[in-house]
Every structure is written in C-alpha cells, then in structure tokens.
Amino acid sequence: MSSSTGSKINFIFLAIVVFLILIGNKTYDYNVSEQAIDGGDTAWMLVSSAFVLLMTPGLAFFYGGMVNVKNIISTMLQSFVALGVITVVWVFVGFSLSFGDSIYGIIGNPTTFLFFENVTLAPNPEYGPTIPFLLFAFFQLKFAIITPALITGSFAERIRFRSYILFMLLFTLLIYTPLAHMTWHPEGLFRRWGVIDFAGGTVVHMSAGLAALAGALFLGKRKTIIEKPANIPFVILGTGLLWFGWFGFNAGSALGANFDAVVAFANTNVASATSMITWIFFDRFTNRKMSAIGACIGAIVGLVAITPAAGVVTLGQSMFIGFVAALISNLAIRLFRKLNIDDTLDVFPSHGIGGITGMILTALFASEVGLIYGETETFVMHLVAILLVVVYTLAMSYFLFKIVNLITPLRVREDQEERGLDASQHGEHFL
C-alpha cells in the first residue's frame, strides 16, 4: 500500500467513525435524581481521571528523555498520540468491548455501549453506584490510553509512526479490551475466579510489558545502539508526573472518596518511594553509580508492582512489594541485556516483570484471602491467570505485529533510522 493511499484511508476511516458516532449518539438525560449522585465521590473521580490522563504526557517526557536526541520528538509523540486515537476507539466500540454484556466472560458485547449508547449520567450499580456512569467510562478510558503508550518504549528509535498507530488500534481491540473485561467486568472470567487486580497489574502493565517484548523480538535490534539519554531532566520530570498521576490511577480505582482510596493512596506512595531507594542502593551495592535514571526507573517499578494490590494490603506489605519488585526488575534488566534483546527502554523488565511480581505478591498478601492468611485459592487462580495472560498477550501481540507488517512495513528504512525518526517520520527537530 502506498503512503498516499494509506493516508487517504486513514482520513476516510476517521470521517466515517465520526459521522457514525454523531448519528448513533443521543442527547444526555439530565433527569437524574440528585440523591443518586454523591458529590464528593464524583469530584474525586473527576480529579482522578484528570490525574490519570496526565500520566500519558508524563510518560512522553519519561521515554523521550531516555532516547537519542534525534528520536526524542518521535518517541514523545508515540505516547502523546494515544490520547487521540484511543479516545475515538473507546467511544466507538472499545468501552463496549470492555464493559458491555459479557460473552462467556471473555469479551463484552460490542453493541451494548456502541457509540456510547446507554452510557448515561445516572450511576450504574456495577461500576460506581455513587458516580455518573459516563464518568466511570471516561475514567477507564485513561487506562486504555496509557497502555499502548507504555509499549512504545520497547521499539523506540526504529518503528514507523503510521504502522505503530495501526498496531495500537488492533492491540486495544484484541488484547486490552478482553483483558479489561475478564478482570473488571462482574461476569468476567478472572473476576469470577477471584483474581484481584485493584488498578491494572494484568490489564495495563502485564499486557503492555508482554506486547513490548513481542515488539522487541519482532523488530529486532537497532542498527546502532547509542546509550546516551537525550535529556535526563525530562526523565525526572516525566517520573514526577507519572508518580503524581498514579494517585489517580490507584486511589481512583476505589471509585469514590472512601477508605479504600486512602489506603491505595498511601500504599502507592510508600511502594514507589521504597522501590526508588532500593534501586539506587542496590546499584551501589553492586558497584554501580547511584544514577538519576536508576532512581526514576526504580520509582516507576514500585508504582507498577503496587498497582494490583494498592487497596488490599497494609503499609508494611506495600513497602515489601516495592523492595522486592525493585530487586527483581533490576536483575531482569541486566539479564535481558546479556540476552541481547533490544527492548530499548526496558519496558518488559519494568512493566511486564513488575506487573507479574505485583500480581504474585497481591495473591500473597491480599487482605483475608491471601496466602499468608492460610487461603490458597486466590494464589492458585492468580498463577493460572498470569499464565493465561502471558501466553495470550505474547502470542497475540507477535501475531498483530506480523499482520501490521504485512499491511504496512513496521520498521523504518536503514537510512531513515540513521537520520533519526524526528526528521524522517515527522520532519521536525528537537535542537
């Protein structure tokens, strides 16, 4: 397919979707009893949704600062563009596939909330009984946005922008939505098994990390690997924005201004702080410098690991989760470099391994049902769910990369990679 033809198809497809949503979407019914809505819960969820949205620009700075200077704009845009693409997909059919009427506990009925039909201002008892259902839908949108953005770090500096957009679309429809449905829908397969994922250990971080691994394996190594971060202050800024936004990510998943939100808030901060300090102290313990990059990666790993457990563990347990996750991910990064797998920004060791670690430790410590309380069912079901997510996500992601590559080449030409993606893909320059 020629680039000219592809560009026209992109625009025509978008125009069709916009007009379908225009025709299919109805006006809001404002005749909702004020007693049905809790003002405090609604305010908190509005703020939380904004917090989580801020994480994607934060991720753009985090990733953008770590690549070579000639790829900084491209890398940042790959994260930022998810705000646009996934929003349209979510309103069109993504939310329905995630939270629509359950089909065998695996996927939602695409017609339940097609074009956001039946997504009203009235609360839905299953998805936040004190907040507008529309607000819940847009809170969940922010999770769907950042997940494919996380993947981009693995194939940074060598992927075509148009091809990435197509992959992001297919990933959301075929991987993210079924995982979200199985995990968070009342009739979802994992939910019925008793799997606990408070804020997205499997849905967001494991799926992104495993897709990142598939991408790194499929695209292969960069022609020239230059370990010279473009802008370390960008990395620190991005980490700060991600940490800030993560309070909405985790505490917002309580779906109200309540005790669970407070517990998740506290655990999120403690796990991240512990993980950051553990990372740089362990680097020093193994005769490495205590770097700013290391501190930032450590903080993110702690945030990843506490995500599934945020509302169901104690403060001390969250500290332990951050400590263990930092050690495991740190060692995983070193191992992957020895294996010669070019995951550019260590997405799988950070998010994939961090998410798996968090899910296992959640099953160990979860209040009343964890392994330390003498209960084995939750722990076993977590292991089964982890295995299924690993197999499905890794295989399907690799298949999607193959499909996209058949439609339009995934990797830029060698000369374009040498020039840098800022110039070759976007005609722009950072400096």
Distance between CA atoms of 398 and 388, rounded to whole angstroms? 15
Tell me the helix, strand and coil percentages in the chain, rounded to 5: 70, 0, 25
Q: By CB neighbour count within 10 A (0-12 exposed, 13-18 middle, 19+ buried), where does 413 fall?
A: exposed
Task: Assign residue 32 the CATH number of its domain.
Answer: 1.10.3430.10
Domain hosting residue 151, numbered range: 25-426
The pair of three-digit structure tokens given for residue 174, joined into one six-digit string: 């075929």
Structural domain tally of the chain?
A: 1
pLDDT of amino acid 345:
97
Task: Kindly report whether the global pTM for this prediction surpasses the value 0.85.
Answer: yes
Inter-residue contact 211 to 397 (CB < 8 Å): yes
pLDDT of amino acid 34:
66
355 occurs within a structural domain: yes
216 occurs within a structural domain: yes
> Which residue, among 190, 170, 203, 43, has the nearest Cα to 106 in the 3D structure?
190
The SS3 call for residue 408 is: coil
431 occurs within a structural domain: no
10 occurs within a structural domain: no
pLDDT of amino acid 25:
80
Cα dihedral 157, 241, 335, 395 sign: negative
Residue 102: beta bridge partners? 108
Residue burial 119-134, b: 16+ Cβ < 10 Å; e: rest = bbbbbbeebbebbbbb
Residue partners of 329: CB distance under 8 A and separation at least 6: 297, 301, 349, 350, 353, 354, 357
Distance between CA atoms of 52 and 247, rounded to whole angstroms? 8
30 occurs within a structural domain: yes
Q: What is the mean pLDDT of each run of 10 residues along the chain (431 residues)?
A: 65 88 80 80 98 98 97 97 97 98 98 94 94 97 98 97 96 98 98 98 98 97 89 98 98 98 98 98 96 98 98 98 98 93 96 98 97 97 98 98 96 96 95 79
pLDDT of amino acid 36:
81
pLDDT of amino acid 30:
74
pLDDT of amino acid 60:
98
2 occurs within a structural domain: no
The SS3 call for residue 40 is: helix
112 occurs within a structural domain: yes
Rounded to the nearest 10 degrees, how much is the dihedral formed by the CA atoms of 73, 76, 78, 84?
Answer: -110
20 occurs within a structural domain: no
Single-letter amino acid code for the residue at 197: D
